[in-house]
Structures are given as structure tokens and as C-alpha cells.
């Protein structure tokens, strides 16, 4: 194939690669969107890979190119929600910020996203996240995930003196994420008694931060 006028072969190759990446992301998003629409209507267990492929207009072979199994689409949905919450965190960090207020904004964003889905789908998403983490820890899956919602917040807060220097920010972030996952699960199952997921979990994480911070500053 001849390069387009005005473009070197290298530039043309880069243009094609960029286009292919864009199409790849578009196809993956289409599969996730089709799966979510079917899950909301028919339920997770009743929806097959074939159903998702038909709704997205792709072949089963293309589906398996992006996702090893239906469960991996579910895990991608969870990651998408986490990424959106992390984007909220980054936006808040651009100016003056309060750590607890940033957490609250991120979790309110997450709650609004979750509220569009039926409770059983929310629970399945959390459980798949646990199963994926277990596979990684067992060495059965070495895939890197970006499910860290608060790591950047705590690292920045520590650098800005809003969190004691002796606090293990990475460990604190993992514990905070555990609170989020369990809070989501209990909220979806009605275990919070009608209370706001975002408010309950924000308070829990704030107490966790205060404990870590106090212990570190008094060592």
C-alpha cells in the first residue's frame, strides 16, 4: 500500500496504528455496552457470550480476542467505575483540597454510576473483582489492573503534609479499597438500611486515615 501524499512511510504506519488502536478501543467499548444493556434487561446469569456478540454485532472470535470469558467483561465494568472515580479524585487535586472531601466526591460519583444497575449485577461485579484478585495472588493471572482508587490521593496528601510521612500510603489505599468493595456489596444487598453508601464508606475511610495518621505521628 502506498503512503498518502505528504506522509512518509513511517508517518503513514503510525497513522494506521493509531487508527487501529482507536477501532480496538471502540470495539471493546461496544462489547461492554452491549453486555451491560443485556444484563440490565435479562440478568447476568441468563445472558450468554453469543447474546453479547449479537447485540454488539461482532463475532465470537472477536469477543474472545478482547475477553477470555464473560466474567472478564464484568471485571472490566468494575474497572471502568473505578477509573471514573479516580478521575474525580484527580480533578479535585488540581486545587486546594481536603482529603475526606475528595473521598466523598469520588464515592458519590461511584454511587451514581452504580445506581443505574440492578443489585444482583452490582454484587456479581464485586465478587468477580475478588475472584480476579485471588487469581492474581495465586499466580494464575499476572494481568496488571488499575483498580487503585485512592493511591494517588494518599501519595499526594502525604507529599503535601496532609498525611503523616510514616504512613504506608500504599497499604492504606488497599485497605480503603477493601472498605469500598465491601460497602458496595452491602449497599447493593440492602445491608446499609437505606443509608447512603458514599456517606457511610467515606466516614469509615476517614476513621481509618485518622487512626493511621495518629499512630504514625506519635511513634
Let me know whether 114 and 166 are in one domain. yes
Let me know whether 77 and 176 are in one domain. yes
pLDDT tens column, 95-150: 999 999 999 999 999 999 888 889 999 999 998 888 887 776 676 655 545 678 99
Last-in-domain residue among 34, 67, 100: 67
* pLDDT for 216: 84
CA atoms of 170 and 125, how far apart (whole Å): 24
Let me know whether 100 and 179 are in one domain. yes
pLDDT tens column, 73-92: 998 888 888 899 999 999 99
pLDDT tens column, 24-37: 788 999 999 999 99
Instruction: Name all contacts of 177-183 with Cβ < 8 Å and 24+ positions apart.
Output: 177/147, 177/148, 177/149, 177/150, 179/204, 179/205, 179/208, 180/107, 180/110, 180/149, 180/205, 181/126, 181/129, 181/130
Q: Where residue 15 falls among pLDDT bands split at 50, 70, 90? A: very low
> For residue 57, what is the domain's CATH number?
1.10.10.60
Last-in-domain residue among 13, 38, 67: 67
For residue 43, what are the domain limits?
A: 1-67
What's this model's pTM, rounded to 2 decimal places?
0.80
Amino acid at each position: 500500500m502506498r503512503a498518502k501524499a505528504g506522509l512518509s512511510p513511517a508517518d503513514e504506519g503510525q497513522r494506521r496504528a493509531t487508527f487501529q488502536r482507536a477501532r480496538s478501543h471502540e470495539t471493546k467499548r461496544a462489547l461492554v455496552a452491549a453486555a451491560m444493556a443485556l444484563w440490565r434487561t435479562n440478568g447476568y446469569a441468563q445472558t450468554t457470550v453469543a447474546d453479547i456478540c449479537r447485540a454488539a454485532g461482532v463475532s465470537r472470535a472477536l469477543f474472545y480476542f478482547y475477553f477470555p470469558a464473560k466474567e472478564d467483561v464484568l471485571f472490566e465494568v468494575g474497572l471502568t467505575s473505578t477509573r471514573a472515580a479516580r478521575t474525580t479524585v484527580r480533578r479535585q487535586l488540581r486545587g486546594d483540597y481536603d482529603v475526606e472531601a475528595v473521598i466523598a466526591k469520588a464515592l458519590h460519583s461511584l454511587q451514581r454510576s452504580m445506581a443505574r444497575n440492578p443489585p444482583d449485577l452490582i454484587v456479581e461485579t464485586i465478587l468477580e473483582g475478588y475472584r480476579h484478585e485471588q487469581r492474581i495472588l495465586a499466580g494464575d493471572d499476572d494481568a496488571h489492573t488499575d483498580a487503585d482508587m485512592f493511591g494517588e490521593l494518599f501519595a499526594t496528601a502525604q507529599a503535601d503534609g496532609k498525611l503523616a510521612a510514616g504512613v504506608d500510603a500504599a497499604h492504606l489505599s488497599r485497605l480503603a479499597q477493601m472498605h469500598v468493595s465491601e460497602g458496595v456489596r452491602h449497599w447493593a444487598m440492602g445491608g446499609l438500611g437505606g443509608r447512603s453508601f458514599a456517606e457511610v464508606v467515606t466516614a469509615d475511610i476517614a476513621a481509618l486515615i485518622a487512626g493511621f495518621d495518629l499512630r504514625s505521628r506519635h511513634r
